[in-house]
Amino acid sequence: MATEEVQERLPVLYFGHGAPPLADDALWTGQFASWAAELPRPRAVLIVSAHWESAPVTIGATTTVPLVHDFWGFPERYYRVTYPAPGAPRLAESVRGLLGGSGVPVADEPARGLDHGAYVPLKEMYPDADVPVLQISMPTLDPRRLFDLGRRLAPLRDEGVLVMGSGFLTHNLSCVDMSLGADREPPSWSAEFDDWANRAAQAGDIDALLDWRAKAPAAAVAHPRSEHLAPLFVALGAGGETTETARSVIDGFWYGLAKRAFQFD
């Protein structure tokens, strides 16, 4: 008599996704690849990206459709990138059940493919594009509402789903000078915010992170608009009690922006 396979509970991730040129950064791509190799193999990935805001919560394509090349002014080769990961219709049904069952409205956008906040890091983590991926939108930038969204999605971790929040721990492009190189010394506002967020996350200080505008140093400079920090709040919610065991997996800076990544086990 066959026994049912026991699925290991998966962690929750938050990371900076860089930009299309991330593919040319040997250090960062290697860090993503090594990280994925250490993780349990997921049945599917559920990802929330800084680059999709839509209310209500919207479920992207559940079949393989073209990527969303949502960036401008880059060399043509970045627009030829493909990532034909399988869709995840079963995961979509689970998301509808978890959210709809608690009164959260859910919409569908079946033609929307993965945006660069999703496929750029996934291409480094799962280069064979053989893990089903589902992207959902952020319906708001309000930290506590996003935290609650993550809490509702937390049961997916016990179904073999790897929940990912993709953003950037500091993100102010008006202060980025690409001519200084990817390994430039970070400006003080980026370094201070990164240090504060790292200490708060590893201490499990969720209240401080959710109240980041009032509590964090250089908050308004690090995030003039909070869409790249917002996926962290979903990850914090999905992390549940394991948020207290957050660990920093990737650190450092990329053109002065903090590329720190957290794992909530």
pLDDT of residue 5: 47
The arrangement of strands across the sheet holding 44-53 comes to 106-108, 57-59, 133-138, 44-53, 161-167, 12-16, 261-264, 247-250
pLDDT of residue 209: 97
**Which residue, among 60, 233, 207, has the nearest Cα to 141 in the 3D structure?**
233
DSSP class of residue 68 equals B
Between CA 203 and CA 162 the distance in angstroms is 23
Name the region of 73 (left: φ>0; alpha: ψ -120 to 50; beta: rest): left
Q: Which amino acid is at 22?
A: L
Q: First and final CA of the chain: distance in angstroms?
A: 33
**pTM listed for this prediction:** 0.94
pLDDT of residue 1: 37
pLDDT of residue 191: 97
Q: Could you read off the pLDDT of 216-250 as tens digits, one per residue?
A: 999 999 999 999 999 999 999 999 865 567 899 99
What domains appear along the chain, each with residue ranges and CATH number? 12-264 (3.40.830.10)
